[in-house]
Structures are given as C-alpha cells and as structure tokens.
A and B are shown apart, each in its own frame.
Chain A
C-alpha cells in the first residue's frame, strides 16, 4: 500500500514569491492534515480536512496561506507571498477518520531566501 505522497520534497524560493505544496493521502483516508514543523520543534497543525471540508483551519495564517481539497482526495497548500519566517518543513498526514492513527508523508522542506 502506498503511503502519503508529497511533492516537491525540497523548494528554495526568494521572499515574496508564491509557492505550492501537493499531498496525496493514503487511498480511502477521509481525513487530511497539513502541519508546519520548525527545526527542533514538533509539528503544529495548520488545517484539517474531513473529505473536502476544512473543519479546522484556526491555525492557518489566512492572510498568506490557503489550502484546498476540491475532490476530497489530494490537497494543495499555497503560500503567497512567502516570507523568510516560512522556512520550515510542511508535513501532510492522513487518517481513516478523526481520532485514528495519522500517517505522515515525508514532508516538503521549504527555504525562503
């Protein structure tokens, strides 16, 4: 069974540029999560989807971050414009439903110069 797939694995951009990350969850997993992980810290939730509905986006900085999961399968997280402080690892995870074990992708490592 394929795990959670994320792309790209690495991204280097200049500040003020836009960037997008893509995630394909495990087949059949209704719940999808985007996390932000700073160096030496644990992941912090940005947004959680139940199918195509964003049910918890309270931690998403909506002035520059957006996300979508149009068909309730794969998802895209966008930053526009990127700032130096956005440099981090962006992790995607999925689970069968809420409160079940979450399976994580390898993450996208973003460096903003």
Chain B
C-alpha cells in the first residue's frame, strides 16, 4: 500500500526567504507526482505535475524535483510572499490493472510572515 509522508507538518518563514517542502513515498512504481495547494475552506489547486520519467518541473517561483528511486520529491519556493501561505499537498499516482489511484500526503501548512 502506497504511503505518502510530508515533513514538516507546519512551517513558518519570514517573507522573502527561499524554502523547501519535502515529500516521500513508499512505493517507487508511480505514474506521476503532483503538488497541490489548498487554501483554508477551499479545494485543491494543482501547482506542478511531474511524470515518472521526468526529474523536475518549474512554474514561476516554484520548482519541484522527483527522485523516483529514493521515493522523494521536493517543492522549492523562491522569494516567498505572504500570498504563498497555504497548505501544500503532495500526491502520487499509481496504476494497478487500469485502475489509477491518487494517494495524498497529509500536507505542510506554510505561513509566510510579513
């Protein structure tokens, strides 16, 4: 059974700092990995999707890396802003006889201090 762990559970950093969020997964046979953002009381927004054959993806100030063999991914946020405050969730997709399953981590609650 795939298990996804995110460390730390919560993180507070001053505005302007660069930061890294970590995600690890137990089964390396994944199809892809996604990073989502969730604001309080709202649904999830997909930030980056990395296919299993890729090593990283970039979007603006966000960079996500994937090391499938070690079961790890990181989300790097450059020059953090108060608007980046949210919960960040990592999710991996595995497939089993045509059935896809998206397994989420418990998230990292990020607070950017102005």
Is there a chain B Cβ closer than 8 Å to A84's Cβ? no
Interface residues in B, total, Cβ within 8 A = 25
Q: Which listed segment binds B: A14-22, A61-69, A70-78, A104-112?
A: A104-112
Asked whether B45 lies within 8 Å of A104 as measured between CB atoms, the reply is yes
- Please, which residues of chain A bring their CB within 8 A of the CB of B4? 42
Asked whether B100 lies within 8 Å of A98 as measured between CB atoms, the reply is yes
> Which of A44, A48, A101, A105 is within 8 Å of B43, CB to CB?
A105
Total residue contacts A-B, CB cutoff 8 A: 51
Asked whether A4 lies within 8 Å of B101 as measured between CB atoms, the reply is no
Task: Write the B78-101 contact mask toward A (1 if CB under 8 angstroms, else 0).
Answer: 000000000001010101000111
Closest to B46 in A: A101
**Complex Cα distance A91/B38, Å?**
12
Interface residues in A, total, Cβ within 8 A = 22
> Which of B46, B99, B103, B107 is within 8 Å of A56, CB to CB?
B99
Asked whether B107 lies within 8 Å of A45 as measured between CB atoms, the reply is no
Is there a chain B Cβ closer than 8 Å to A85's Cβ? no
- Please, which residues of chain B bring their CB within 8 A of the CB of A40? 106-107
Closest to A10 in B: B41
Asked whether A4 lies within 8 Å of B100 as measured between CB atoms, the reply is no
| Among all A-B residue pairs, the 3 with the closest Cβ atoms | A42-B104, A104-B43, A104-B44
Instruction: Apart from A42-B103, A56-B99, A104-B43, list 8 A-B contacts with CB within 8 A.
Output: A48-B100, A99-B31, A99-B95, A102-B102, A104-B36, A104-B44, A104-B45, A107-B42
